[in-house]
Chains A and B, each alone.
Chain A
């Protein structure tokens, strides 16, 4: 089996995301499944710009998984989406 590329996960650590629940996502080491964790590359990233978009339905905190930016991120949603991306 060919070695798959790791999924790129970017957690926004801009102030708006950080103070509205994003800081909790930094504990990913504690709540993410170790197998999923081993198959992704998690990075911090400056503001993804989504929060400033007018009329956006989703709010902070934002996380980019692969090429898609997801908002209203929670611990649960984060685990599900990252696992989904890893197993895809």
Chain B
């Protein structure tokens, strides 16, 4: 995964903020075609081949933000203004949630291992001795890899004392746990949506920004503008994403046009209670292990790739689902918007009637910027009585779901827990063998993103920063909260 702090993300935030500013200023349809020129002025030193290509990319970026399927609906004769007009008239759920921009794709060369100039042609030659395919030879005193025989096992890379072997991956292919991202015959990226589990790893790994998420932001801001009653359902991971406490974040949301704010930790509590009861029952009936069911990318993984796990996962609904149902019970006319770091949640939401919109933290950040809202300057709002579900804010962290469930089980010491902290290619393979060799645990917690939702594709800050700003009033004094006490050994 790329570092969050990078030029692509900065430009994306700029584009998003500008589009939102124009949307709220009622000039979007009229001026949207000027945004590429505003973002990429002619004085700019381009990071792609030229500013014209960069502007073309901004156009695609805006299309993705409008929720358009670029692969299928890219009509170069059509202006952005025409797209905006269509999108403002009619909402369509952005599924599949990812789309590719082949013009942005650099058609990276296939995954390979190369011997660099650092090779000293040493006497021990561990690369030669450890290559299982015998594809390393020495010419002119330097190692050489025979591409046609190399199986990309990486053994030579690990054994070279000079780090002379370089692995050059194809970032998107490498990131995809289920091999849904592949290069086509021309070498450009393509996603097989029958296999894709919408985890978003490819989108956050491509250094060219060729894989983008189709945003559901426009339907949400339309609701905000129309003055309907809109409920913001904030995922537990939101704490630490902005420079302010949960109650300040609530105020900021109210200031940006939401009518009420509900913590999804509340629904997480219901999920925990349900899973705790189900776990007890399964144990009594000796049905073996049970997995959690709150991670939507994992749900997709089971449905598309590991069907035998469908009876192993808990029947509990996700925290988002319970929260949305509760909101609709309180006020049947409210529109519910789920705000989270997750892309796969959009797929789950599209299947549900009770969730009317989804946005990511990154999109929320742009909304705050567009409206000139400073979370830190907000007077805190009352969060109400949170004592019942406060501990479920841990759902955002790896192993937090399991501990929330354990606190609601009768005999927690008798429950063996296994935490799956991130699903990559290797973990996917391990999970497939569970059919024959079940994991030695009663409760298996599955998180598709390493570290949990705080590492999700729609986060604003690094997990290491977010973690330190979570809890209590840490976020009110961000700089102080980050200070590590000096440990003397």
Could you tell me if B376 and A14 are in contact, using CB atoms closer than 8 angstroms?
Answer: yes
Main secondary structure of the interface of B (DSSP, over half): helix
**In the bound complex, do residue A24 and residue B477 qualify as a contact, i.e. CB atoms below 8 Å apart?**
no
15 contacts between A and B (CB under 8 A): A13-B478, A14-B377, A15-B368, A18-B243, A18-B461, A19-B368, A19-B461, A21-B10, A23-B465, A24-B461, A26-B468, A27-B464, A27-B465, A27-B482, A44-B243
Q: Is B391 an interface residue (CB 8 A)?
A: no
- Which of B252, B479, B480 has the most chain A CB atoms inside 10 A of its CB? B479
For B139, list chain A residues within 8 Å (CB). Answer: none
Known pairs A14-B243, A15-B242; A23 contacts B460 (CB<8 A): yes
Contact: B479 with A42, CB < 8 Å? yes
Q: With CB as the reference atom, state the residue of chain B lying closest to A18.
A: B243
Against B, the Cβ 8 Å flags (1 = close, 0 = not) of A2-18 are 00000000010111101
A26: B residues at CB distance < 8 A = 465, 468, 478-479, 482
Query: B42 to chain A: closest CB distance in Å?
Result: 16
Tell me the B residues contacting A by CB distance below 8 Å: 4-5, 10, 13, 242-243, 252, 365, 368-369, 373-377, 460-462, 464-465, 468, 477-480, 482-484
Which residue in chain A gives the minimum CB-CB distance to B477? A44
Q: How far is A15 from B464 in the complex, measured between Cα atoms in Å?
A: 18
User: Pick the contact of A13 from B369, B468, B479, B484 — CB < 8 Å?
Assistant: B479
> CB distance B374 to A46 under 8 Å?
yes
Per-residue interface assignment for chain A, residues 64 to 85, with 1 indicating a CB less than 8 Å from any chain B CB and 0 otherwise: 0000000000000000000000
Extra 6 A-B pairs, beta carbons < 8 Å, given A15-B252, A19-B368: A13-B479, A14-B243, A18-B460, A27-B464, A29-B482, A43-B479
Asked whether any CB of chain B lies closer than 8 Å to the CB of A36, the reply is no
Q: Residues of B contacting A46 with CB < 8 Å?
A: 374, 376-377
Give chain A residues whose Cβ lies under 8 Å from the Cβ of B462.
23-24, 27
In angstroms, Cα B482 to Cα A15, docked, is 17
CA of A62 to CA of B314, assembled, Å: 47
